[in-house]
């Protein structure tokens, strides 16, 4: 092209920029852009879109600001690209809001493509109210904007709103597409709404969309979350083009339900069938290893990740840190962190959470300081972990200091989990008036965990009157909560007339509120073994009980003895 003398042709330059960007050759695209003598709006749009496509948000915004300096007016394609860039993180929220204002000033806020991008942007920032406002202001929403709204609600845990929007769009005469179905199935998963999920499944079959990989994986996810594994298997088997997405959905569904043996077996069969696992597969498997604290299986998965050349993937790296830290292998967790080319707040949250699981408050503080030294700002999840370790270790003063700094220093609004930690630590220390005040003044109604937590401490301190109020709250959330009935029975055993205790036990039987047998797990002979009290079902029972007795002996040597004060018949 240079030899043909077309180097100054703006159309050629624009095409070259677009080609290089799509081929991930961003430095070459930038070089052509810099050498363009007659840049027009298409030139800038191509360069911005290229950077956005590959996640180079800051560079995309720099090109956008340079364009404004030249006097060129951005068009709807420009705004769509830069708004997509701002979706990537709340770090760019101010830029996104300014861009939204500019869109309004230019009178194109009702452009359906831009509107859907705005809805997605606010959704990613968890600003659901702003997403809804954008949607409401549209004179005639189309399928794309309805899809964005349903996805917004589903992604922000507003399952009922997602389902309502799903029904409303159909009343408007719009037929859902695969994006809408995937989103509303996620809402069904969150609610464990099996009946509605089955109805939607029937719609999908009528529409002939089952062969869409994302719809199939959403169905598998819904059925596993609703504990309907035969139906999940049926969808999986009917999906003739079984690929990594559906395999990963099956593995994740079994892993999340604690079916670790089945999940690991699926992983083996998947490899035998020649399906290569991807990042999502490995994250599900590492989550399984984290939950059952089996470092041996985690190390095997880590080996597979290295073989696939995926160890530098940030989400995978974070999952590895989480797995090793929670399994007590802090040296390995730190090695992963040190070898990472990049870290984010999720990385440090994983390491902090591992320190919490081993009740190491000093290590938590060290991680927090190192994280701040890397200019990473803690988020709400960071503080859930910090408050949790303070709670478990009885560090009340430190807990209140961290709780205060959330809003004063980091502008983080406390969530249920934060309030629950504070209520729990107050109840644990016997400060019931203060705990009750927080319970009654939370920004939203208290959740099950907060009320159940306070009830358990009422048992410890024999606060019968407050316990009755908490019990009413627990039953209102879950009428078959064995925890609530057990605590009230224990309280009445020690305090109050015997008929109260008999009444609580009778009420429990009427409600069919039975406690699930507690299950323990330990790792031995390169495997993990689960068992309940007096379990004799394992073929290797003698070997396992020998291992168990040695563990109990070590625990007693270290000063641990079980508390049996409140044990009673749970039959």
The percent of the chain in helix, strand and coil, each rounded to the nearest 5, is 70, 0, 30
Alpha-carbon distance 328 to 325, whole Å? Answer: 5
Residues in the chain: 571
Alpha-carbon distance 347 to 327, whole Å? Answer: 16
Instruction: Give the H or E element holding residue 530.
Output: strand 527-531
Same fold, 1-108 and 343-407: yes
Would you say 492 and 469 are in contact if contact means Cβ atoms under 8 Å apart?
A: no
Q: Where do the domains of the chain lie?
A: 1-108, 343-407
Would you say 485 and 511 are in contact if contact means Cβ atoms under 8 Å apart?
A: yes
pLDDT of res. 382: 95
Dihedral angle at the C-alpha atoms of 44, 50, 56, 60, nearest 10 degrees?
Answer: 10
Backbone φ, ψ for residue 499 (5° rounding): -65, -25
Mean pLDDT, consecutive 10-residue stretches, the chain (571 aa), reads 56 89 89 89 93 88 92 90 84 87 90 94 92 95 97 95 97 95 96 95 90 91 95 88 87 91 91 91 92 86 92 90 90 89 89 91 94 90 95 93 93 88 91 86 70 80 75 66 64 61 54 54 59 62 74 75 50 40
Could you tell me the fold of the domain covering 343-407? 1.25.40
Q: Which tokens go with 60? A: 């995309």
Q: Which tokens go with 334? A: 């730190």
pLDDT of res. 409: 92
1-108 in CATH: which number? 1.25.40.10
Instruction: Provide the β-strand partners of residue 204.
Output: none
Q: Which tokens go with 494? A: 């020690």
Would you say 455 and 436 are in contact if contact means Cβ atoms under 8 Å apart?
A: no
pLDDT of res. 338: 86
């Amino acid at each position: 092209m240079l030899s043909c003398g077309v180097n100054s042709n703006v159309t050629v330059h624009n095409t070259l920029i677009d080609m290089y960007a799509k081929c991930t050759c961003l430095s070459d695209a930038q070089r052509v852009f810099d050498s363009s003598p007659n840049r027009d709006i298409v030139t800038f749009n191509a360069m911005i879109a290229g950077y956005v496509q590959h996640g180079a948000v800051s560079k995309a915004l720099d090109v956008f600001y340079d364009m404004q300096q030249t006097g060129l007016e951005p068009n709807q394609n420009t705004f769509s690209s830069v708004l997509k860039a701002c979706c990537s993180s709340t770090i760019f929220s101010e830029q996104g809001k300014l861009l939204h204002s500019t869109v309004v000033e230019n009178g194109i806020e009702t452009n359906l493509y831009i509107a859907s991008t705005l809805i997605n942007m606010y959704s990613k920032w968890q600003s659901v109210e702003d997403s809804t406002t954008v949607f409401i202001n549209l004179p005639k929403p189309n399928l794309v904007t309805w899809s964005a709204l349903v996805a917004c609600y589903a992604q922000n845990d507003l399952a009922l709103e997602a389902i309502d929007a799903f029904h409303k769009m159909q009343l408007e005469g719009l037929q859902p597409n695969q994006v809408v179905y995937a989103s509303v199935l996620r809402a069904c998963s969150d609610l464990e709404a099996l009946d509605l999920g089955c109805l939607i499944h029937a719609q999908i079959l009528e529409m002939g969309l089952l062969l869409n990989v994302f719809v199939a994986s959403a169905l598998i996810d819904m059925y596993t979350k609703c504990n309907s594994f035969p139906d999940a298997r049926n969808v999986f088997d009917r999906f003739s083009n079984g690929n990594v997405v559906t395999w990963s959905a099956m593995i994740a569904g079994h892993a999340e339900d604690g079916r670790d043996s089945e999940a690991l077996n699926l992983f083996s069969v998947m490899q035998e069938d020649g399906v290569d696992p991807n990042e999502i597969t490995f994250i599900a498997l590492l989550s399984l290893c984290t939950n059952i604290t089996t470092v041996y299986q985690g190390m095997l998965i880590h080996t597979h990740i290295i073989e696939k050349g995926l160890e530098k993937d940030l989400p995978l790296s974070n999952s590895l840190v989480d797995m090793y830290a929670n399994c007590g292998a802090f040296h390995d967790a730190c090695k992963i962190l040190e070898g990472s080319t990049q870290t984010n707040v999720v990385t440090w949250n994983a390491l902090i959470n591992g320190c919490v699981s081993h009740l190491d408050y000093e290590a938590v503080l060290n991680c927090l300081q190192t994280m701040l030294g890397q200019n990473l700002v803690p988020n709400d999840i960071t503080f859930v972990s910090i408050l949790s370790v303070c709670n478990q270790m009885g560090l009340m003063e430190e807990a209140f200091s961290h709780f205060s700094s959330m809003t004063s220093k980091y502008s983080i609004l406390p969530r249920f989990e934060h309030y629950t930690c504070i209520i729990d630590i107050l109840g644990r220390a016997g400060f019931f008036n203060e705990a009750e005040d927080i319970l009654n003044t939370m920004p939203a109604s208290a959740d099950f965990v907060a009320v159940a937590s306070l009830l358990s401490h009422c048992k410890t301190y024999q606060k019968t009157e407050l316990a009755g109020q908490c019990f009413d709250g627990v039953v209102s959330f879950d009428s078959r909560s064995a925890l609530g009935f057990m605590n009230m029975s224990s309280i009445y055993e020690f305090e109050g007339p015997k008929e109260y205790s008999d009444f609580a036990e009778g009420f429990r039987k009427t409600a069919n509120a039975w406690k699930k047998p507690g299950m323990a797990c330990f790792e031995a002979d390169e495997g993990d073994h689960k068992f309940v009290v007096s379990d004799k079902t394992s073929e290797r029972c003698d070997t396992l009980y020998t291992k168990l007795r040695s563990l109990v002996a070590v625990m007693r040597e270290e000063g641990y003895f079980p508390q049996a004060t409140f044990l009673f018949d749970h039959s």
